[in-house]
Homo-oligomer: A and B are copies of this chain.
Amino acid sequence: GFAKVDHYRAINQGFPEVIFGLGKRPEQTAAIFERLTKTGLPVLATRCTAEVYGAVKSKVPEAVFHDLAQAVTLRVSEENEHPLGTIAVVTAGTADLPVAEEAAVSALAMGCRVKRIFDVGVAGLHRLLSKREELSEAQVIIVIAGMEGALASVVAGMVDIPVVAVPTSIGYGANFGGLSALLGMLNSCALGVGVVNIDNGFGAAALAATIVRSGRRDIGRSQDV
């Protein structure tokens, strides 16, 4: 075969099987997707176009397409019954939505509850300030912003919760494809910020879910005592 499917599990128990659609042909993604359905676990394919979804659907009719997120899923619902924890997904602008939805769908697939807080960029602070309560209820906050990426610093300064910062390529000119937001987030003057690659909504969700799971496991340990 053209790819070793068995190592998809390597990631971890509890995690969905994940297919990275970029650079794969529709039939390839569809074939892997079909095989993964047999595990009984949730299945997630990111970076998929509508055309890829077509190919998957013809093999796995129950597969669902997440238009904005450009993701195809199976056995992933908007509300997990026994969520591992809550991840807030926060964006600066509406243009960051595709990345945010990739993060949200991925976090759902990984068993978390997701709270979306969109379009609260720092140019109009009142929008963000009114969300302080909601933010403080999450175990992890994913902050997604392009242009200067200042939202990560402001959010991290407001709460004492781990912030996973995702720079986006949104902007133009001297944003240099997301470099401005990336550097902004890496140089954040606030504490508690970890940065992932530009536009990497999926990676942010994976880190956030790992953090949530790491906390849960400790619960077990603590209760053992």
Measuring CB to CB, which residues of chain A are less than 8 angstroms from any residue of chain B? 2-4, 7, 10-13, 22-24, 85, 92-95, 119, 121-127, 129, 139-140, 147-150, 153-154, 156-158, 160-162, 164, 167, 169-200, 203, 206-207, 210-211, 213-216, 218-219, 222-223
Contacts and interface: CB of A to CB of B under 8 A. Distances in A.
Given A150-B150, A214-B215, A22 B172 contact: yes
Given A122-B150, A192-B206, A198 B214 contact: no
Contacts of A193: 196, 203, 207
A176 to B, nearest CB: 7
Given A153-B122, A158-B125, A194-B207, A185 B94 contact: no
B188 A148 contact: yes
A11 B119 contact: no
B148 A184 contact: yes
A162 B216 CA distance: 13
A169 B172 CA distance: 10
A10 to B, nearest CB: 4
Contacts of A2: 94
Contacts of A119: 3-4, 7
Contacts of A149: 148, 150, 184
B186 A183 contact: no
A197 B4 CA distance: 28
A158 to B, nearest CB: 7
B207 A162 contact: yes
Which of the listed residues A150, A187, A198 has the most CB atoms from chain B within 10 Å of its own CB? A187
A122 to B, nearest CB: 5
Contacts of A185: 148
